Amino acid sequence: MIVNKRINRKRGVRIHMNENIVAKILFIIGIAQMLIGLIVGLILGNADYYGVMNWSVVFMWTIGGFISGMLFLGFSEIIKLLHTINEKTPSLQKEAFHNIKTLEEKTAPVSWSLKESDKEKINEKYSDEAISEIVPSPKEGYCLVKFKSSAGYYVKVVNVDGFGVEEVHDAEIKYTIIEWYNNLN
């Protein structure tokens, strides 16, 4: 998605607006389809041998152009709204990183408990591995899963918020939770 940055002035205050170029293009295509439908309708409606305007042809082309143009305008508006929501919503990685700062205390208490359904999700996801321990971390929604293999023990940090279990790949979050776990023992 290509984004154009533009700065507007409104009552002396600078407002940063991010416009979505795809939404703009779809809007222009929608307006063009409506205009082309009207023009083609007028041309084909006037193409009678006797020079009499055939209004049914004009209305069919105009209505067809209007409907297809409105579909494009609707898609344009949906993309604009989704873009606005995306701009206002902080990314999950940033939010998780800022919330993880509470783990800076080496033995921060865990204020939430892991539900049985979340344990089942973890067991399903890692059914081919030997889970020895599932530990909820001080950051709600994040768990440390300890596995046993022939070479010894290893751990993974997972996020159980949402519909499934997702392994955390953010190094900062993983390091902080593993460091917290190592300080428990």
Query: How many structural domains compose the chain?
Result: 2
85 and 106 in one domain? no
Question: What 3-state DSSP class applies to 108?
Answer: coil
Token pair in block for residue 183: 């300080």
Provide the edge-to-edge strand list for the sheet that holds 130-136: 130-136, 142-149, 152-159, 166-167
Token pair in block for residue 123: 């067991």
Q: Among 38, 58, 89, identify where a domain stops.
A: 89
Q: Among 33, 64, 89, identify where a domain stops.
A: 89
Q: Which domain holds residue 42?
A: 3-89
How many residues can be counted in the chain?
Answer: 185
75 and 123 in one domain? no
151-182 pLDDT tens trace: 888 889 999 887 788 888 888 888 888 888 88
134 and 69 in one domain? no
84 and 106 in one domain? no
Closest CA to 142 of 121, 117, 167: 167
**pTM attached to this predicted model:** 0.44
CB 4 within 8 A of CB 21: yes
User: Across all residues in the chain, what is the average pLDDT?
Assistant: 81
DSSP label at 90? Answer: P
- With tokens 């321990």, the residue in question is 133
What are φ and ψ of residue 145, in 5° steps? Answer: -110, 125
CB 65 within 8 A of CB 42: no
98 and 80 in one domain? no
Q: Among 52, 67, 89, identify where a domain stops.
A: 89
Q: Residue 121 pLDDT > 70, yes or no?
A: yes
Q: Residue 134 pLDDT > 80, yes or no?
A: yes
Higher pLDDT: 123 or 64? It is: 64
Higher pLDDT: 70 or 94? It is: 70
177 and 115 in one domain? yes
